[in-house]
């Protein structure tokens, strides 16, 4: 059994729709996205960007001694794209050993959610498909970046990912939990900081097979991984959004966001491919938070919740903690 590109395209569109529906319902319909449809200027196709931007830059207001949020999502986006081009970026042409003028198709869904509440982690997910001539592969993954992590929630997040892998993954396609987690720990790492971006998740790239009949099985895994976003993020967005937070916690959240920016601009392959292929800049850089801060030579005070985060920023066997 095989699968065609049109079916994959429709599957990614469905993933985008389901995730956006979940986010709107979870925020009580108070936050709606801006939909921006665009055309790929260097070929055909285009995309459907759906972006949330909050209205309150500070993220809280003071009412006596209580600090409460206006909205749940400060900056976020769930983007679908399907582009057809004829000029591969040189790096991609070299990597795949194909001519730069080979026609290619790139499609997928990419999302990032930056919440107001520091108790709700930032989450990133990407599921994608690439085809050039006879070369094709799938990729994708999800990772979580908390500021004030709770061990039980981190374990639950990883268990949900493992359940997806156990049900839809396959060792022969390299879609196991162990391989995806290890690759995620390696990829989402800031070498100049000596720390992981967050508490990891899964990361897969160049999932392919010499047997075309295997394509449907790999696609099913990627499709289910995309839909798993709802189960993965719901405990955080629903349960943690009502937790109170202080101005100090908000400031630490903004400081930690600077690490997110550093990774996306220095190391993220998707960002680099999008820019090099002259994709839509606004959609590519949608992943950056609305507000972030850099502090010179800052270190959290010992024995604080802020310092505790640093113990989470290294590869750990979360399921056996």
Q: Could you state, in order of their start, the residue ranges of all structural domains in the chain?
A: 5-320
Residue 67 has pLDDT above 60, yes or no: no
Rounded distance, CA 77 to CA 32, Å?
Answer: 11
Catalytic residues: 124
Does domain 5-320 match CATH 3.90.1150.10?
Answer: no
Q: What angle do CA 241, 247, 249 make, to 5 degrees?
A: 60
Residue 55 has pLDDT above 70, yes or no: no
C-alpha distances (whole Å) from 172 to each of 175, 179, 188 are: 8, 11, 24
| Torsion sign across C-alpha atoms 251, 158, 272, 116 | negative
Residue 34 has pLDDT above 70, yes or no: yes
- Higher pLDDT: 282 or 80? It is 80
Instruction: Give 123-142 pLDDT, tens digit per residue.
Output: 999 999 999 888 899 999 99
Structure confidence at residue 274 (pLDDT)? 82
Residue 249 has pLDDT above 70, yes or no: yes
Instruction: Give 151-188 pLDDT, tens digit per residue.
Output: 999 999 999 999 999 999 999 999 999 999 999 999 99
Structure confidence at residue 85 (pLDDT)? 85
**What sections of the chain are H helices per DSSP?**
5-26, 90-96, 151-168, 177-187, 215-227, 229-234, 247-266, 269-276, 281-284, 305-309
Taking residues 143-155, report their average pLDDT: 98
Structure confidence at residue 59 (pLDDT)? 52
């Amino acid at each position: 059994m095989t699968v065609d590109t049109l079916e994959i395209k429709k599957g990614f569109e469905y993933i985008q729709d389901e995730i956006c529906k979940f986010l709107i319902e979870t925020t009580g319909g108070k936050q709606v996205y801006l939909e921006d449809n665009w055309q790929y200027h260097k070929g055909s196709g285009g995309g459907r960007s759906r972006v949330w931007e909050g209205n309150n830059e500070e993220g809280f207001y003071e009412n006596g001694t209580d600090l409460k949020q206006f909205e749940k999502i400060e900056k976020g986006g769930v983007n679908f794209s399907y582009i057809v081009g004829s000029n591969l970026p040189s790096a991609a042409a070299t990597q795949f050993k194909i001519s730069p003028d080979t026609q290619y198709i790139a499609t997928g869904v990419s999302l990032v959610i930056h919440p107001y509440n520091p108790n709700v982690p930032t989450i990133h997910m990407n599921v994608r498909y690439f085809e050039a001539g006879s070369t094709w592969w799938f990729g994708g993954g999800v990772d979580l970046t908390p500021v004030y992590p709770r061990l039980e929630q981190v374990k639950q997040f990883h268990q949900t990912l493992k359940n997806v892998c156990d049900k839809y993954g396959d060792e022969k396609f390299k879609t196991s939990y162990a391989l995806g987690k290890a690759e995620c720990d390696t990829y989402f790492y800031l070498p100049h900081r000596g720390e992981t971006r967050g508490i990891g998740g899964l990361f897969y790239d160049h999932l392919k097979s010499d047997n075309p009949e295997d394509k449907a099985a790999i696609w099913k895994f990627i499709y289910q991984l995309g839909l798993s976003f709802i189960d993965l993020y719901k405990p955080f967005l629903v349960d943690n959004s009502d937790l109170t937070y202080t101005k100090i916690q908000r400031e630490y959240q903004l400081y930690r966001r600077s690490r997110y920016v550093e990774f996306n601009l220095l190391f993220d392959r998707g960002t680099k491919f999008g820019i090099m292929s002259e994709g839509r800049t606004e959609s590519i850089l949608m992943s950056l938070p609305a507000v972030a801060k850099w502090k010179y030579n800052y270190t959290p005070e010992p024995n604080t919740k802020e310092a505790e985060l640093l113990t989470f920023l290294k590869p750990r066997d979360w399921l056996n903690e």
